[in-house]
Chain A
Amino acid sequence: MSEDKNDSFLSRLKAAERRSGLKTEDDTKESADDKDGQSLATLALRAGTEMISALIVGVCIGWGLDKWLHTRAIFLIIFALLGGGAGVLNVWRLVKPPPV
């Protein structure tokens, strides 16, 4: 019985919203687009940080190894490249389609 009541309330609410022009079909579509744009900007920002942070870690490790082993720049070069690769991997994990 309470479910019935709830249903009738929801339908009445929907009708009232449509009457007062609060919620139209266009409105819902627009808000969905808005949400998409928001998440796209957030995604782009996240992808940037993921890429940079892997590179930072790679450069830090390479620089530290060079300093420790007194080899000039060989580990920095290797780990900067690996860090860049790890950055791309991070971004791929972020944007890859969900497993089917």
Chain B
Amino acid sequence: MAGGSSIDVLGQFELHSVFGGLGDALHFSQSPVYMMLAVVLVLAFLYFGMRPAAVVPGRFQAAAEVCYEFIRNMAIDTIGPEGASFFPFIFTLFFFILAGNYLGLLPFSYTFTSHIAVTFALAMMVFVLTVVVSLKVQGIRFFAHFMPAGASLALAPLLIPIEILSFLSRPVSLSIRLFANMVAGHVMFEIFASFVIMLAGFGVVGDVFAIGPIAINVALVALELLVGVLQAYVFAILTCIYLREAVAH
């Protein structure tokens, strides 16, 4: 990807159609392939993990149960008793994003969460859900939230637009956070990997100095493993917080 002395850091995010002519005709790129792979992996993990259904779980079943209970507790602790009905949605969201982030860390793979189109679609899904739930639970009183309690009426023309804009900025910040973190991580990988290739052109001295960028990349993999789970968690917990506000009377 690094051609000669120039570093092409964004080439890794380009979409190409896969599966030959059929893929070309359908505009079927790597992104949906990896999405399907993520879905299949998560489903397989839960299906094969829970298949023994043992009272005393084995390692695999224990892992599946820990994942289930972790998200379930998060949903119910954050949203309240109503959280149980949103738990499947939050579970799906968390593990879809987590699988996407981690699949992207494999060599030669592709990170679908590094595209704003994908993360914004996920965030809009959350946003529309919260608005629908708010309108259903609170009815017309939902709009009263746009006027801060206790503020003077003279300030209303200024405060209400700001509150509305603040509310509308939620899906944007939700999607930008995930997308920016993923892009930044993968760009850093590419930059340090390119340094190694460039240094290889300088003979023995370059070979010695190339240890530096390689060591940094190894550390970056550890950081990206943390960022991947952290961003999935942040996305899920913010969804929970928005839903808690929606179901509050």
Contacts and interface: CB of A to CB of B under 8 A. Distances in A.
Interface string B68-109: 000000000000000000000000000000000000000000
A71 interface: no
A61 B163 CA distance: 14
Main secondary structure of the interface of A (DSSP, over half): helix
Given A56-B172, A57-B172, A46 B177 contact: yes
A85 B166 CA distance: 9
Given A42-B230, A49-B177, A49-B180, A86 B162 contact: yes
Interface in A41-92: 42, 45-46, 49-50, 52-54, 56-58, 61, 79, 82-83, 85-87, 89-90
B1 interface: no
Given A82-B161, A89-B162, A57 B176 contact: no
Contacts, number: 57
Contacts of A87: 169
Interface of B is mostly: helix
A74 to B, nearest CB: 15
B15 interface: no
B61 to A, nearest CB: 24
Interface of A: 42, 45-46, 49-50, 52-54, 56-58, 61, 79, 82-83, 85-87, 89-90, 93
Given A46-B234, A49-B176, A53-B169, 18 more contacts: A45-B181, A49-B180, A53-B176, A54-B165, A54-B166, A54-B169, A54-B172, A56-B169, A56-B172, A57-B165, A57-B168, A79-B165, A85-B158, A86-B162, A86-B169, A89-B162, A89-B163, A90-B169
